[in-house]
């Protein structure tokens, strides 16, 4: 049974300009222990969706079922109790600026009527886990962005949640800090078995940490699947656009080469997995068919903790061997996908 089950969810807002359908017939299933990404452009409805998962935003219609309990059918006290199992961290940390690090982490424990002694003991354990044991007396204004987010994560873990919702939790951080926070979230997921739902507009975040992804556009989910499959074979236009932006902004091992005099031939995108990266496929291809092949773009990405190589190839114009060459590539264990980025030939 899914830990998070969303059925035919709709959310409508009334504004001065009229009715806004923020969510339209959203259906989603997240398994226990998963790290699930929800991604889309600005205004896609992803933040509204995550706020509906814990009923901070009450849906207009539809069901949100957490561990078999339909949140819409819970009484106020029952809903408050259920929310203790659903923690949340935000883009701007939401720390109490007048409280030090230790007291920030203690805050939800005090709400649960824990004693000061027990709350402080638990808070110190959590700050050790997030790597801030030496910052317990510091105030938020004395911390870096990454440190503030670590405090927010420790605070979220204080109530021992089953689910952790992350709403653009790395958007305000630099790339290096983002990587460290994502590593921390992966460690937490592995150590505690907490289900993590990540809301983001960055495909790099999804491919770094998530096992599954839902892609949103205009309040609807337009594509779902295993991250590896969506990365290799995106189906929706928005998935292709997000991957295109990810490709063009990624600085991981990018190269551009030219082999021979090739202009305006057919282009293909090939994806190397860990099982297909040991043979010199392109070199062997050129030797076998005696034709030059342009490598227009190449990059290495981390997709769910596994290195994935990607190349954009261009064949010789008017070549009669393109079909045979593509078959050879596939027989070599390399996937062929649609070209999803603009490449200067």
User: In terms of pTM, does the model score above 0.95?
Assistant: no
Mean pLDDT over 222-243 rounds to 88
User: Band of the pLDDT at 343, cuts 50, 70, 90?
Assistant: very low
* pLDDT tens digit sequence for 119-168: 999 999 999 999 999 999 999 999 999 999 999 999 999 989 999 999 98
Measured between its terminal Cα atoms, the distance across the chain in Å is 50
All domains of the chain, ordered by start, with CATH?
Answer: 4-236 (3.40.50.300), 250-337 (3.30.70.260)
In contact, 329 and 281? CB cutoff 8 Å? yes
pLDDT tens digits for range 274-308:
655 567 888 888 988 888 888 888 777 767 666 67
Q: Which of 32-36, 155-159, 231-235 comes out lowest in average pLDDT?
A: 231-235
Q: Long-range contact list for 338-341, CB < 8 A, 24+ apart? A: 338/233, 338/234, 338/240, 338/269, 339/267, 339/268, 339/269, 339/312, 340/234, 340/240, 340/243, 340/244, 340/247, 340/269, 341/243, 341/244, 341/247, 341/248, 341/297, 341/312
pLDDT of residue 186: 93
Q: How many CB atoms lie within 10 A of CB 289?
A: 17
Residue 56 clears pLDDT 80, i.e. is over it: yes
**Main-chain phi, psi angles of 266, to 5 degrees:** -65, 140
Confidence at residue 263, expressed as pLDDT on a 0 to 100 scale: 56
């Amino acid at each position: 049974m899914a830990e998070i089950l969303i059925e035919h969810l709709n959310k409508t807002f009334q504004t001065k300009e009229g009715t806004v359908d923020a969510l339209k017939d959203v259906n989603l299933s997240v398994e226990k222990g998963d790290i699930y990404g929800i991604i889309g452009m600005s205004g896609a409805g992803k933040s509204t969706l995550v706020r509906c998962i814990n009923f901070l935003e009450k849906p207009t219609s539809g069901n949100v079922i957490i561990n078999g309990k339909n949140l819409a059918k819970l009484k106020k006290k029952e809903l408050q109790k259920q929310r203790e199992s659903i923690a949340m961290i935000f883009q701007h940390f939401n720390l109490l600026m007048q409280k030090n690090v230790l007291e920030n982490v203690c805050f939800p424990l005090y709400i649960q009527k824990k004693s000061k002694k027990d709350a402080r003991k638990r808070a110190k354990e959590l700050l050790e886990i997030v790597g801030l044991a030496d910052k317990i007396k510091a105030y938020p204004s004395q911390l870096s962005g990454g440190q503030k987010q670590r405090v927010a994560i420790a605070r979220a873990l204080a109530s021992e949640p089953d689910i952790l919702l992350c709403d653009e939790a790395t958007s305000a951080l630099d790339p290096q800090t983002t990587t460290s926070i994502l590593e921390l979230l992966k460690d937490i997921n592995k150590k505690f078995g907490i289900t993590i739902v990540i809301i983001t507009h960055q495909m790099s975040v999804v491919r770094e940490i998530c096992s599954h992804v839902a892609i949103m556009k205009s309040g609807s989910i337009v594509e779902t699947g295993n991250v590896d499959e969506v990365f290799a074979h995106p189906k929706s236009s928005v998935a292709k656009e997000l991957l295109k932006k990810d490709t063009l902004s990624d600085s991981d091992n990018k190269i551009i080469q030219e082999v021979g005099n090739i202009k305006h031939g057919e282009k293909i995108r090939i994806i190397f997995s860990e099982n297909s990266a040991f043979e010199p496929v392109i070199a062997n291809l050129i030797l076998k068919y005696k034709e030059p092949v342009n490598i227009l773009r190449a990059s290495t990405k981390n997709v769910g903790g596994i290195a994935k190589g990607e190349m954009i190839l261009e064949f010789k114009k008017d070549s009669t061997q393109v079909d045979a060459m593509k078959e050879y590539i596939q027989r070599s264990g390399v996937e062929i996908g649609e070209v999803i980025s603009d490449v200067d030939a």
